[in-house]
Amino acid sequence: MPDFDFAQPTSLDEALALFAAEGEVRALVGGTDIVDQLKTGRRNADMVVDVKRIPELQRLEMADDGLHIGAARALTDIGECPAVRSDYRGLADSSVLVGSWQIQNRAGLGGNVCNAAPSGDTIPSLLTHDASAIVASTSGRREIALSDFFAGPGQTVLQKGEILVEVVLPPIPDNSASAYLRFIPRNEMDIAVAGVGSFLQLNPSDNTVQKARIALASVAPTPVRARAAEEALEGNVLSDELIETAAVAAVGSATPISDVRGSAEYRRELVKVLTRRTLGICRDRISG
């Protein structure tokens, strides 16, 4: 492990002052990504700042403007949160898939988001719920739509001195539901070969799709929205045929690579299958 300074601030102001310092300053929540990256030289740091002790980054609260999840809040807490389990079920699906119980106890939502892996399992669910990122630096705060947060594999749009404070998910409309599924070749502890999150809002009187969101993991340089599939759904009456049309359209938003986990062709097929299945789960969840 290379040498670096280490700090554990207990307030956001104290943390932001540390992040404003010269050199490479990196946040640590659970350390399940960053520790290995520092050890293997894939990332470097002059200072590592453990942000878990900052109360604002531990927030997990339903407010008038939606669900606020602090960047350091553990995935276990998120997966067990009653509001997440009732209203943001795709996020509950994702949180309990990451690694193992030990990883979920340790890792924070902000770590999964800021690591910016194309395979980050919570990210498609956050995208389908139109989440936004609240980031802060000594210069102030700004809000970034999560769909604009990722700049490439392992890259975000965060500027020097900025950290993620929280993620906010707007309140869900009536008659809506979300779901997330991924494919891995074994039961757990693997990175998604492909993952799909879906969200549907239906008009209860005629089953027309009022709002659709589909987001894909592990099939592009960043997690991506499948906008053509969303457009294929919105305004039309939900049926098996429409779901199939959307599943085929979702494939067009995937630009996968072939690697040890699967070929590009296999990943495209997975996008179709997982889109079909997650839309079906959303339909079932809406109908109760």
Ligand X SMILES: Cc1cc2nc3c(=O)[nH]c(=O)nc-3n(C[C@H](O)[C@H](O)[C@H](O)COP(=O)(O)OP(=O)(O)OC[C@H]3O[C@@H](n4cnc5c(N)ncnc54)[C@H](O)[C@@H]3O)c2cc1C
- Which residues sit at the interface with ligand X, rule CB under 6 A? 26-34, 51, 71, 97-99, 103, 106-108, 110-112, 114-115, 119-121, 158, 163-164, 189
**Rounded to the nearest whole angstrom, what is the least distance from the CB of residue 85 to ligand X in the complex?**
19
Dihedral sign from CA coordinates of 229, 235, 236, 240? positive
Shortest separation between residue 224's beta carbon and ligand X, angstroms:
15
Are 163 and 19 a contacting pair, CB within 8 Å? yes
CB of 44 to ligand X, least distance (A): 11
Q: Closest residue to ligand X, Cβ-based?
A: 111
Q: Identify which of residues 24 and 61 has a Cβ nearer to ligand X in the complex.
A: 24
Q: Residue written as tokens 């299958």?
A: 273
Element containing residue 156 per DSSP (H, E): strand 155-156
Q: Which is nearer to ligand X, 91 or 249 (CB)?
A: 91
Which CB atom, from 157 or from 237, has the smaller least distance to ligand X?
A: 157
Let me know the angle formed at the C-alpha of 260 by 99 and 256, rounded to the nearest 5 degrees.
Answer: 90
Nearer to ligand X, 198 or 201 (CB): 198
Of 163 and 181, CB closest to ligand X: 163
Question: Beta-carbon neighbour count of residue 222 at 10 Å?
Answer: 20
Element containing residue 125 per DSSP (H, E) = helix 122-128
Residues 6 or more apart in contact with residue 170 via CB below 8 angstroms: 65, 66, 129, 130
Residue tagged 């606020």 (tokens): 68
Nearer to ligand X, 106 or 267 (CB): 106
When the beta carbons of 30 and 66 are compared against ligand X, the nearer one is 30
* DSSP result, 201-247: EE-TTT-BEEEEEEEEESSSSS-EE-HHHHHHHTTSB--HHHHHHHH
**Rounded least distance, CB 226 to ligand X, Å:** 19
Question: What is the smallest separation between the CB atom of 1 and ligand X, expressed in angstroms?
Answer: 14
Residues 6 or more apart whose CB falls under 8 angstroms from that of 174 comprise: 201, 204
User: Shortest Cβ distance from residue 113 to ligand X (Å)?
Assistant: 7
CB of 166 to ligand X, least distance (A): 9
Query: Hunting for tokens 């500027």 — which residue is that?
Result: 159
